[in-house]
């Protein structure tokens, strides 16, 4: 029998879940392409290892940084690669459940489905990423009771109010992990005349990123290039400076949660006040973010356990029930 698999293709990470076994693969959503031929030469972790080490004709790209729906060929090739890596070359094609952003149009859904089928999958189930994340965070979303989930990924934040396994109202914004990295880059440029690479900004964010100012003032050395003279320089950056750099992004996410609550039916608001708000996705891991959202909404807000894997775990739990559903 072919194995059933769950797939979460994120802007930052691709995860594959094997039915009955758990997460079988977690790799960066990166490809290396040959600029002359346009061919993909490496995918995932193998492509990441080439970062900063490539000859001029090889480019390292993050193809889904603006969503998975616009790169049909690349999506198919990456999926085929990862499916083969997890399932081996089997005669029987697997079925797959895949999480997708909730703003896909019907046409885009069709395109994603076709790309998955072309990658050697025999049947595809699309699952809204916030539904998957809520379920992977351990919420019982099958009840007639409102839950608010804020999934902060690499390129997108999706906020959904969910009841009876359905998204009732939602809000999507392109403020998420990547835009936080960009905010750090632009802060360093403006305040320290220092140019740093995206990877450096992301490392800084993960190492000392914080949302609200604190009395502790850990500092970190940052290596970059002088904005005016182009010469290598090292500066010292404090944690409160990162907090300052991330203020706008954090306020946008908290503001979007408040405005979604304004569009939420009162009965569900009462439920959410009781159940609280749950944060999922890697971008939610900034210390202080849950507190900020809690203060802005007046509702208890908690970070899920292991936020980056909530979506794939939710896809997995759907998959584990798949024989009943198919």
Selection from Mg ion, ligand ATP, none that 3 binds (CB < 5 to 8 A by kind) is none
Per CB under 5 A, contacts with Mg ion among 152-181 are: 153
- Whole-number minimum distance, CB 321 to ligand ATP, in Å? 23
Per CB under 6 A, contacts with ligand ATP among 127-166 are: 153-156
Selection from ligand ATP, Mg ion, none that 316 binds (CB < 5 to 8 A by kind) is none
- Whole-number minimum distance, CB 36 to Mg ion, in Å? 33
Q: Is residue 171 left, alpha or beta, with left meaning phi > 0 and alpha meaning psi from -120 to 50? A: beta
Whether 308 and 129 have beta carbons less than 8 Å apart is answered as no
- Whole-number minimum distance, CB 9 to ligand ATP, in Å? 7
Rule CB under 6 A: is residue 291 a binding residue for ligand ATP? no
Strand order across the 166-173 sheet? 166-173, 157-163, 147-152, 277-280, 301-303
Rule CB under 6 A: is residue 281 a binding residue for ligand ATP? yes
Residues forming beta bridges with residue 279, ordered by sequence position: 150, 303
> Given candidates 63, 136, 209, 314, which one binds ligand ATP under the rule CB under 6 A?
209
Selection from ligand ATP, Mg ion, none that 205 binds (CB < 5 to 8 A by kind) is ligand ATP
Span interacting with ligand ATP, options 34-42, 188-196, 205-213, 221-229, rule CB under 6 A: 205-213
Span interacting with Mg ion, options 61-69, 77-85, 147-155, 302-310, rule CB under 5 A: 147-155
Structure tokens at 52: 């900063």
Instruction: Give the closest residue to 77 by CA, choosing from 24, 9, 135.
Output: 9
Whether 34 and 50 have beta carbons less than 8 Å apart is answered as no
Look at residue 311 and give its three-state secondary structure: helix
Q: How many chain residues touch ligand ATP (CB under 6 A)? A: 21
Whether 132 and 315 have beta carbons less than 8 Å apart is answered as yes
Span interacting with ligand ATP, options 76-84, 117-125, 277-285, 297-305, rule CB under 6 A: 277-285
Per CB under 6 A, contacts with ligand ATP among 221-250 are: none
> What are the residues whose beta carbons fall under 8 Å from the beta carbon of 55, sequence distance 6 or more?
none
- Using the structure block, give the residue that is written with the tokens 């500092």: 219
* Nearest to Mg ion of 10, 63 (CB atom): 10
Rule CB under 5 A: is residue 10 a binding residue for Mg ion? yes
Return contacts of 68-73, CB within 8 angstroms, 24+ apart.
Answer: 68/9, 68/100, 68/101, 68/112, 69/100, 69/101, 69/104, 69/108, 69/111, 69/112, 72/111, 72/114, 72/115
> How many angstroms separate the CA atoms of 310 and 135, rounded?
8
Selection from Mg ion, ligand ATP, none that 177 binds (CB < 5 to 8 A by kind) is ligand ATP
Rule CB under 6 A: is residue 10 a binding residue for ligand ATP? yes
Instruction: Give the closest residue to 33 by CA, choosing from 47, 49, 46, 22.
Output: 47
Rg of the chain on CA atoms, in Å: 21
Span interacting with ligand ATP, options 102-110, 203-211, 225-233, 250-258, rule CB under 6 A: 203-211
Rule CB under 6 A: is residue 178 a binding residue for ligand ATP? yes
- Using the structure block, give the residue that is written with the tokens 């859904």: 109
Selection from ligand ATP, Mg ion, none that 94 binds (CB < 5 to 8 A by kind) is none
Rule CB under 6 A: is residue 12 a binding residue for ligand ATP? yes
> How many angstroms separate the CA atoms of 133 and 143, rounded?
16
* Nearest to Mg ion of 8, 241 (CB atom): 8
Rule CB under 6 A: is residue 316 a binding residue for ligand ATP? no
Residues of the shown chain interacting with ligand ATP in the complex, contacts defined by CB under 6 A? 10-13, 153-156, 176-178, 202, 205-206, 209, 281-283, 285-286, 308
């Amino acid at each position: 029998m072919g194995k059933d698999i769950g797939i979460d293709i994120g802007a930052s990470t691709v995860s594959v879940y094997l039915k009955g076994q758990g997460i079988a693969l977690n790799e960066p959503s990166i490809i290396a392409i040959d600029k002359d031929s346009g061919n993909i030469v490496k995918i995932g972790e193998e492509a990441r290892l080439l970062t900063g080490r490539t000859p001029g004709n090889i480019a390292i790209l993050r193809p889904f940084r603006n969503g998975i729906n616009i790169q049909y060929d690349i999506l198919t090739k990456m999926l085929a690669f990862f499916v083969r890596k997890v399932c081996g070359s089997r005669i029987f094609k697997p079925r797959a459940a895949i999480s997708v952003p909730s703003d896909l149009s019907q046409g885009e859904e069709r395109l994603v489905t076709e790309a998955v089928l072309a990658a050697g999958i025999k049947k595809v189930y699309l699952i809204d990423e916030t539904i998957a994340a809520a379920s992977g965070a351990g919420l019982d979303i099958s009840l007639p009771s409102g839950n608010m989930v804020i999934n902060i990924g690499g390129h997108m934040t999706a906020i959904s109010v969910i009841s009876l396994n359905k998204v009732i109202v939602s809000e999507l914004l392109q403020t998420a992990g990547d835009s936080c990295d960009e905010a750090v880059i632009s802060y360093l440029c403006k305040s320290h005349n220092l140019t740093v690479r995206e990877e450096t900004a992301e490392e800084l964010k993960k190492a000392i990123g914080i949302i609200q100012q604190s009395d502790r003032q850990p500092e970190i050395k940052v290596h970059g290039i002088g904005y005016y003279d182009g010469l290598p320089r090292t500066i010292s950056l404090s944690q409160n400076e990162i907090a300052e750099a991330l203020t706008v992004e954090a306020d946008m996410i908290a503001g979007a949660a408040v405005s979604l609550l304004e569009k939420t039916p009162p009965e569900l608001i009462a439920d959410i006040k009781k159940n609280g708000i749950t944060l999922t996705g890697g971008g939610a891991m900034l210390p202080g973010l849950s507190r900020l959202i809690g203060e802005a909404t007046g509702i208890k807000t908690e970070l899920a356990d292991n936020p980056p894997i909530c979506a794939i775990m939710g896809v997995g739990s759907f998959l584990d029930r798949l024989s009943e559903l198919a």
